[in-house]
Chains A and B, each alone.
Chain A
Amino acid sequence: MFDARNISLRYGKHLAVDDVSISVGEGECVVILGANGAGKSSLLRGISRMAPIDPAGRITLRGADLGAVPAHRIVEEGIALVPEGRGVFTEMTVEDNLWLGSNPKRARADNETRRGEILALFPRLAERRKQRVGTMSGGEQQMVAIARALMSNPDLLFLDEPSLGLAPIVVKELFATLTRIKESGVSMLLVEQNVTSSLALADRGYVLEAGRITSEGTARELSSSSVVMEAFLGH
């Protein structure tokens, strides 16, 4: 459903993403693994139009070219990004953040039902609707970020290291929730350093090293690949 071809992205002379091509199938969960500084976040920003990419790159969603779509229209096209650092409005309440999530027209029609479903998925948020997001724990803020993205009624969810900085028990809970979101039919592109949990969730994956894809395969293949294990687990 989603296809990004020949994506390159640079900061001045530094080439952070070097001719990367990735795709996500309908209902599929794809993970991008890579060490710090590999270019994962840059790639995600590039393919969600939040950062400029080299002109050779092509981005399509269900065949529609996203090359000329401005950043603020991407969520209307059906891609919701949960960026590195969560990108939530910390001065505002949980409720306000969710409301903002439903800004796109595609989300307006059954807004109320969707909100009910999302709050069922994140019961903690239902209890804290009036709380300012800035006063919440890191795990709760990550939930707000994901819940807000889901409020836009996305076809495809981009998640940048959602488990970063969370306690192991919270990470477990988070991946359980992501599994349920996947089962609901939303396609996912996930950037992670938590190899074990993310390969358990994902169908397929890519390994990014110094801005280039060095291996790719099904989650099972990557789990048993010595390359991945060496790169990330030091085995």
Chain B
Amino acid sequence: MLSSTLIVGLVLGGTYALLALGLTIQYGVARIMNLAYGELVIAGAFFTMLMVTQAGLNPLVALILALPLGYGFSWLLYTVVLHPLARRSKSQGQLEVDSILVTFGLLFLMQGLYQVNFGGNFQGYQWLQNPVNILGTKIAGGRVIGLVFAVLIGALLYLAMIKTRWGVNMRAVASRPQFAALVGIDMRKEARMAFATGGALAAAGGAILSMYQTFTAVDGTFLTMKALVIVIMGGVGNLIGALLSGIIIGLVEAGVSVAIDPGLTLAATYAIFLVVLLWRPRGLFST
């Protein structure tokens, strides 16, 4: 039972890590606190469900399609709605307040649309339910594949952040936006690209989530909250911190749900969050 908890925890944790990575890039580079982030995750999940049930596609194909769609949607959202906000705000603080208000509204809009179209029930599809045997533990094949893809996308993004000019520029803007122009970085372009990249990760995370669990039209709120907790635990803008914290939260949730009660997972997450806030407000991995 311990090893099955561990694997379930890793699967959850891998997905959470991916989601937190997207949110931390959006917040760290574009300085947008996106409260509708979880709604884009759910959009990825609905999209995958429709592709599987209506178009008869493999969920993995849907995942590959979700990446550019999430990117494009967020790119447009930034260009049409958020960029004008960023331009008129005189300070970073003001941009944060404005973006929270706007994305809070967007959250309700998107949740409303989901509920009108899909109702409030649990949603999902059947895929690779047959268990595979890992280290003596039986676990649904869909979960394993979900984990593999979450890790793969997370690792690729991390490498890109460290090893490519694209990523180095992104990190530079996240750490010292006021110096970006000195090295020829166009802040506007960079912010839009970061916001869109975060959107791609959100949609991909939703596609992966749908591979192994059901979801509802309103689950986005919890996902945003969890991603936010993980980002703060990891230290805002700290990519490795987000990855590790995501895995920790996944493991804790799986552990609590097996050992105590599934209803307490969210409470456990917030308990950890509170401890981190009190004890290491700048994140578990701050130096």
Binding site for B on A (CB under 8 A): 50, 70-76, 80-81, 83, 87-92, 96, 99-101, 103-104, 148, 152
Contact = CB atoms under 8 A, between A and B. Distances in A.
Given A89-B176, A90-B176, A148 B171 contact: no
Nearest to A85: B179
Contact of A72 (B165, B168, B175, B185): B185
A89 B184 contact: no
Nearest to B171: A92
Contact of A103 (B171, B175, B184, B187): B184
Contacts of B171: 91-92, 96
A92 B182 contact: no
Contacts of B172: 89, 92, 96, 100
Given A72-B187, A90-B176, A99 B182 contact: no
Contact of B186 (A72, A83, A96, A148): A72
B183 interface: yes
Given A72-B184, A76-B184, A96-B171, A103 B165 contact: yes
Contacts of A88: 179
B175 A100 contact: no
B135 interface: no
Nearest to B182: A87
B1 interface: no
A92 B175 contact: yes
Name the residue among B172, B179, B186 with the largest chain A CB count within 10 angstroms. Answer: B179
Nearest to A50: B181
Given A89-B176, A90-B176, A100 B169 contact: yes
A126 B180 CA distance: 24
Contacts of B165: 99, 103
B168 A99 contact: yes
Given A88-B179, A89-B172, A103-B165, 16 more contacts: A71-B181, A72-B185, A73-B184, A75-B183, A83-B179, A87-B179, A87-B182, A91-B171, A91-B175, A91-B176, A92-B168, A96-B172, A99-B165, A100-B172, A103-B169, A148-B183
A78 to B, nearest CB: 11
Nearest to B189: A72
5 smallest beta-carbon distances between A and B, as pairs: A71-B181, A100-B183, A72-B181, A103-B184, A91-B175
Given A92-B171, A96-B168, A96-B171, A101 B183 contact: yes
B181 A89 contact: no
A50 to B, nearest CB: 7
A21 B172 CA distance: 34
Contacts of B181: 50, 70-72, 74
Nearest to A132: B287
A87 B175 CA distance: 12
Nearest to A106: B184
Contacts of A96: 168, 171-172
7 contacts: A71-B181, A89-B172, A90-B176, A91-B176, A92-B171, A103-B169, A103-B184
B86 to A, nearest CB: 15
Given A99-B168, A100-B172, A103-B165, A89 B179 contact: yes
Contacts of A74: 181
A72 B181 CA distance: 4
Name the residue among B165, B171, B182 with the largest chain A CB count within 10 angstroms. Answer: B182
B75 to A, nearest CB: 20
Contacts of B184: 72-73, 75-76, 103-104, 152
A107 B145 CA distance: 43
A22 B219 CA distance: 62
Contacts of B187: 72
Contacts of B179: 83, 87-89
Interface in B46-69: none
Nearest to B238: A91
Contacts of B180: 72
Contacts of A99: 165, 168
A83 B182 contact: yes
B123 to A, nearest CB: 42
Interface string B190-227: 00000000000000000000000000000000000000
